[in-house]
A = this chain, B = another copy of it.
Amino acid sequence: MFPLIGNVPKNIKTNQVDFCCLFEKYLIIYQQLLTAALKRHQITIIDIARELNLSKSTVSRALTGHPKVSTATREAVLALAEKLDYQRNMIAFNLVTSKTLTIGIIVPEFVTSFFPQVIIGAQEAAAKAGYNIIVSQSNESYETEVANAKVMLANRVDGVLVSLSKETRNFDHLKIFQRKGIPIVFFNRVCDEMQVPKVVVNDYDGAFSAVEHLIQTGKKRIAHLAGPDSLIISRQRLNGYLDALRKYNQPIVEELIIPYDLTTGKVKIYVNHLLALKEPPDALFAINDPTAIEAMQIIKQKGLRIPDDMAVVGFSNDYASALMEPSLTTVAQPMREIGSTAVQLLLDQMDRDVANWKAVTRTLKAELIIRGSSRPLATAPPV
């Protein structure tokens, strides 16, 4: 039998019968291959190899920029690949190299602008290193997060970036990555239980300076709409709040600290509750911008003036916060930088051996941006 793929045998007999027979066979094979290619709708290395009368391996080498290929061959292959619009089948490539060049990102949501921005930063950094990103959202649900992790695992991502859902208290689904040697990096909502790299901002300092600022503007009863206790960021920000009060010898009033589980709709209840207190607060430090914004709407509806009757400060510097009336004072997080840093940490780990993984924690700077929702008109800077 003649070789299906590869060189045409050099010693073709010129004997007519032989040649006809040979030709016929080749014709059939050719047609079969053609049909197959059409059916696949894909150009493969074999198609190029057949056309150029080369072996698969040579074509592969030419395509991957292997040094030991003659210039003529390389150029011919590249030209034909271009012409035929050949795209390397990443699936097969992945199977062989057991690399997918893909980074998975699991975020709790991307409705507010925080996570989309982080993702953009991550995507840009990943693209530079030749990696793709696949994103999935846990919807703040533990179950979904576990499912997402399974999908990432099945898709054999080369690494994952995770920001935990508010429900997550068990981390087995994430420890699997470690066990399988897939690097994992936490960002924003991190996990103390796992010894892996993390990217956070100095939530404590941010919260501290926010509350300090409120105190300095003369506020005496500062309320805090805190985040769910499960999240470290909630606790950090709460601590910043408490320590600022302590530093300035303000009493810590239990009824002014309300833990909030981030469920939409509950802000209204809490703010109304705060406003109905015998001694209502004169300022509010909210766990994040969406919460602060929602609170502002309610406060304004009540006819209270912001910041005079009630100052408000948020956290993150969401897209909408500068657009409010008054604009929202907030602690800005370097969102894109969080994404790119997380990817960087991931790439670092992928380069080195499992044994050399280091659980560095990179803390980025969160900075207070003072805007109208907390700046008393009296102390406004002169024009």
Interface residues of A, Cβ cutoff 8 Å to B: 40-42, 85, 87-92, 94-95, 98, 100, 110-113, 116-117, 119-120, 123, 132-137, 150-151, 153-156, 176, 179-182, 293, 297, 300, 319-320, 323-325
Contact = CB atoms under 8 A, between A and B. Distances in A.
With a 10 A CB-CB cut-off, give which of A42, A91, A112 has the most chain B CB atoms.
Answer: A91
A136 to B, nearest CB: 7
A88 B136 contact: no
27 contacts: A41-B179, A41-B180, A42-B180, A87-B150, A87-B154, A88-B154, A89-B95, A90-B154, A90-B155, A91-B94, A92-B95, A110-B116, A110-B119, A111-B116, A111-B117, A111-B120, A112-B319, A116-B116, A123-B137, A132-B134, A133-B134, A134-B134, A135-B135, A300-B325, A319-B320, A323-B323, A323-B324
How many copies the complex holds: the figure is 2
Contacts of A137: 120, 123
Contacts of A94: 91
A112 B113 CA distance: 8
Nearest to A325: B325
A297 B42 CA distance: 52
B95 A91 contact: yes
Given A88-B154, A135-B135, A324-B324, 6 more contacts: A123-B136, A123-B137, A133-B134, A133-B136, A320-B320, A324-B325
Interface pairs A-B: 3 shortest CB-CB? A325-B325, A41-B181, A320-B320
Contacts of A92: 95
Contacts of A181: 41
Given A91-B156, A132-B134, A85 B176 contact: yes
Contacts of A320: 319-320, 323
A95 B95 contact: yes
Nearest to A90: B154
Nearest to A327: B297
A344 to B, nearest CB: 20
Nearest to A115: B116
Given A90-B154, A319-B111, A98 B325 contact: no
Contacts of A116: 110-111, 116
Contact of A132 (B98, B111, B151): B151
Contacts of A90: 154-156
A91 B100 contact: yes
A120 B113 contact: no
Nearest to A354: B41
A368 B157 CA distance: 43
A132 B293 CA distance: 33
A145 B323 CA distance: 31
A141 to B, nearest CB: 13
Given A40-B98, A95-B95, A132 B117 contact: no
